Structure 1
Amino acid sequence: MEMLFTQALGLTSPWRVVNVDFQQAAGRIVFKVENTAKRLICPACGAADQPIHDRLPRTWQHLHFFQYKAIIEANVPRVGCRECEKTTQVEVPWARAGAGFTETLEAFVIALCTQMPVGAVAQLLGVSDDRVWRVLDFHVDAARAQEDYSGVRRISADERSARKGQRFLTLFCDLDARRLLFAVQGRNAATFKTFAEDLAAHGGDAEAITDVSLDLGAAYQAGTREHCPNATVSFDPFHVVALANEALDQVRRAEVKQVDGLKHIRWGTLKDAANWTRKQIDQMHWLQRTNLQTARAWRLKQALRQVFSHGGDIAQATTLLDGWISWARRCRLTPFKRLAATIKKHRDGILEHFRSGLSNGFAEGLNGRIQAAKARARGYGTDRHLIAISYLICAKLKHLPKNPWTHAAQQIPA
């Protein structure tokens, strides 16, 4: 039986399983492993045939054996090297240095955490959340360190709420590779400096970036000008229309005090017509037959949406956008007059979208995935944890440990 488990654990001489202790009452099975060598290579300098100084007891958790927790125990040799005069512990073949899990279990933890909250994974394994987070932090950082960003040319920058109304992250995405590049605390111009430094650490160059998709916030524009000086800015259509939604709601709130029919119509004015409920269809048909300011505001918002949906090339989009600005400036609705001034100020960047085809739509999709993970976990205690999960599920990291089950299955010949 010991030979069977030696092979199952992938051990080779001088490592072998010498005892298997099934502790049913404790709900675990303990594999006692020994290193039978009398002399070993020095782990510090590589000198061959060095004496063993002593052996220290160590314990690791492995994948469950049926429903039982599997534990590996070993007295790990320390080599007393006569060449470098150091006493160094040898590495075990089943775990990285300093880890309490085997490499196989760590790979399984990472696979689980892409789909499950960390707390649920910790409960499944019978360990603390902190142990799982240490595994994630180590492997995510190690995998990111090997990523190559030398080909990054077109990016987006968008904010993500870490805790509602209190803390924010900025997410930088590679729009060609469709992956998360970098996540950092804050939503100001300084985030671009940190991004440029991280990009350089991965072989990239912020000055080589040709296009950046942003919202209309002044901070991100300032950061782009300073740290991505050769990039052309495209303003994201979603955020432009979002400003129109805000202006529309300002008009509705001002008018609702005089018109009772506007009290429950808010969601209908903000939603796309294809998503209206039966009740909202009736409400919006009523609104369009009135001469209310809210009706005019809604038509202005819809017309701005049509600039992006029917804009076509830059020439056609320019005509439509300039016509909309002219209409909004004459509409006698103060929120839309302010919006017209904002859009005119950012006109070139808005029209640039029709050349580059860029938007923050992909970043918004990542936001949705991160929000879903955050909801499953009922929030994260620290920004570092949220950033680690964001990288895990959105960065397409190529150097994470492979799921031991699916990876093993792929090795079976057809």
Structure 2
Amino acid sequence: MKDFEHDFSLFQEALEIQEPWYVSDYKVDHSNQVLHIYLSFERGATFTCPHCGHSHAKVHDIVNDDRTWRHLNFWQYTTYLHARLPRVACDLCGKTRTVVVNWSRPKAGFTWFFESEAMTLMKEMPVSAVARKVGEHDTRLWRIFHYYVRQAMEEVDLSQVKRIAIDETSSKRGHHYVTLFVDVDTKRVLFATEGKDATVLKTFKDYLIEKEVSPEMIEEVCCDMSPAFISGIEEHFPKAHITFDKFHVMKIINEALDQVRRTEQAEAPELKKTRYIWLKNQDKLTENQQVKLFNLKDTLLKTARAYRLKLALQGLWTRTFLYAPLYFEDWYTWAVHSQLEPMAKAAKTLKKHEKGVLRWFTSKMTNGLLEGINGLVQASKRKARGYRSTKNFIAMIYATVNKLTITVKPPIGG
């Protein structure tokens, strides 16, 4: 232990402290397993001016309070760096400013080494678990996480964005949602914001303007038939074409079909426990389910008729651009005259949004990508057992879904 307690050069080299800074002292608190390392600078040293970058600014005075930064542990010791920072009076710009140290970013309270390790851990583990591992409050770690995610998102190029998909994902139990805006072509989450009403479209528009991107760049938008999304798009992106997600279209029909089944099964016992055979695609059914469907699908049951309407609408997506409008019109006529009230009501909903339904034949856009993204988001949420705030949840979405390359880099000089 003797060498450890007197060898300043060991810490000087390990910390990679640059001149004119040097290790002036250290103290070991064995009872609490804490190591304090003290840094000072050479007499007559000059520093880089934080205001103009002049490299030979002279020391004006020294800030009285002792600054502290958490560093990576040395062996089993929780390690802190301490220094009193000089202020420099710059001959070039005339400003007097506190110097920026080369082992930490301003006001961080952590060294670059510590932040790099923390970010590596936070991309692999829940932040609460990282906090326990490194002995820091998770609120402080979230500040690190937000800083570097924000820096990485600043580098995302929005200049070529033309086609976006919109969907909401639950942020926590109850009616709490975050709306995602995804670039269909790059599969990147461009923006996420709390809520799922029409105002989220204005928030996204303001974000684009802030990034010096014209909202008129957005040519195509894919979403579900949420009235809030539709009105928001029409108001804030009036030149964009809306494509209604075909999986959402089929969801509307499946819900109507299931409503027919639930009503009919009271007088048709053979329909009990058959919900999934009508809603799933046939190739997803078990062998027993396929047999049961085969015995029921061509009967005179109302549910069987509703199922045939569903299959017919699925056939729409295999039609050509020119024939699709005629096919949809024939299907609509059949559905509204089917004497199946839920199916007729669903058909009228689709008819009201016919332009957006048929826009798929031009844009070929769906929200299938967003389903995959939502799966990643919810898996991350379960792993973390929730997040303290929506802001934290959104930052984790950016980092997880976009697979951000986050590199902690100290500044040149100091």
Sort the TM-score into its range (normalised by shorter chain). 0.7 to 0.9
| Cα distance change of structure 1 residues 388 and 304 upon mapping to structure 2, 3 Å threshold | same
User: What CA deviation, in whole Å up to 9, does each residue of 1:17-41 have, x standing for no partner?
Assistant: 3456565653455444333344433
Of 63, 66, 74, 2:82 maps to: 74
Matched position secondary structure for 2:266: coil
Distance 1:352 1:376 in 2: 38
Please show how residues 125-164 of structure 1 align to structure 2 within 5 Å: 125-164=134-173
- Tell me, yes or no, if structure 1 residue 346 matches structure 2 residue 349: no
Distance 1:224 1:296 in 2: 36
- Tell me, yes or no, if structure 1 residue 40 matches structure 2 residue 46: yes
Of 362, 381, 385, 1:378 maps to: 385
Distance 1:317 1:109 in 2: 54
1:407 aligns with none
| Cα distance change of structure 1 residues 13 and 347 upon mapping to structure 2, 3 Å threshold | same
| Cα distance change of structure 1 residues 297 and 204 upon mapping to structure 2, 3 Å threshold | same
Alignment check: 8 A CA contact 2:243 2:363 kept:
yes
* 1:197 positional shift: 0.6
Matched position secondary structure for 2:120: helix
| Cα distance change of structure 1 residues 11 and 167 upon mapping to structure 2, 3 Å threshold | same
Distance 1:184 1:401 in 2: 25
User: What CA deviation, in whole Å up to 9, does each residue of 1:343-377 have, x standing for no partner?
Assistant: 11222211111111111111222111111111111
- Tell me, yes or no, if structure 1 residue 8 matches structure 2 residue 14: yes
Distance 2:286 2:109 in 1: 54
Alignment check: 8 A CA contact 1:214 1:234 kept:
yes
* 1:239 positional shift: 0.8
Please show how residues 4-403 of structure 1 align to structure 2 within 5 Å: 4-18=10-24, 26-41=32-47, 42-44=49-51, 48-54=57-63, 56-65=65-74, 68-79=76-87, 81=89, 88-288=97-297, 290-308=299-317, 310-311=318-319, 313-395=320-402, 397=404, 400-402=406-408
| Cα distance change of structure 1 residues 106 and 298 upon mapping to structure 2, 3 Å threshold | farther
User: What CA deviation, in whole Å up to 9, does each residue of 1:284-340 have, x standing for no partner?
Assistant: 3343254322222222223322322x23x3124334323322221222111110111
Greater CA deviation, 341-350 or 267-276? Answer: 267-276
Which runs of no fewer than 5 residues in structure 2 stay unpaired?
1-6
Matched position secondary structure for 2:18: coil
Instruction: Report the AA paired with residue 368 of structure 1.
Output: G
Matched position secondary structure for 1:124: helix
Greater CA deviation, 46-55 or 93-102? Answer: 46-55
RMSD over aligned Cα atoms: 2.7
Alignment check: 8 A CA contact 1:160 1:170 kept:
yes
User: What CA deviation, in whole Å up to 9, does each residue of 1:181-240 have, x standing for no partner?
Assistant: 111122122211110110111121111211111111222121112211221111111111
* 1:403 positional shift: 9.7
Distance 2:37 2:344 in 1: 75
* 1:56 positional shift: 3.6
* 1:388 positional shift: 1.4
Greater CA deviation, 332-341 or 135-144? Answer: 135-144
Normalising by the residue count of structure 1, what TM-score does the alignment of the two structures yield?
0.87
Greater CA deviation, 378-387 or 281-290? Answer: 281-290
* 1:88 positional shift: 4.2
Q: Percent identity?
A: 36
Distance 1:158 1:54 in 2: 51
Alignment check: 8 A CA contact 2:71 2:81 kept:
no
Alignment check: 8 A CA contact 2:67 2:83 kept:
yes
Greater CA deviation, 283-292 or 372-381? Answer: 283-292
Alignment check: 8 A CA contact 1:212 1:232 kept:
yes
Matched position secondary structure for 2:66: strand
Alignment check: 8 A CA contact 2:247 2:367 kept:
yes
| Cα distance change of structure 1 residues 382 and 282 upon mapping to structure 2, 3 Å threshold | farther
User: What CA deviation, in whole Å up to 9, does each residue of 1:124-147 have, x standing for no partner?
Assistant: 222222112111222223333343
| Cα distance change of structure 1 residues 69 and 334 upon mapping to structure 2, 3 Å threshold | farther
1:410 aligns with none
Alignment check: 8 A CA contact 1:251 1:333 kept:
yes
| Cα distance change of structure 1 residues 224 and 176 upon mapping to structure 2, 3 Å threshold | same
| Cα distance change of structure 1 residues 349 and 355 upon mapping to structure 2, 3 Å threshold | same
Distance 1:263 1:105 in 2: 60
Alignment check: 8 A CA contact 1:33 1:72 kept:
no
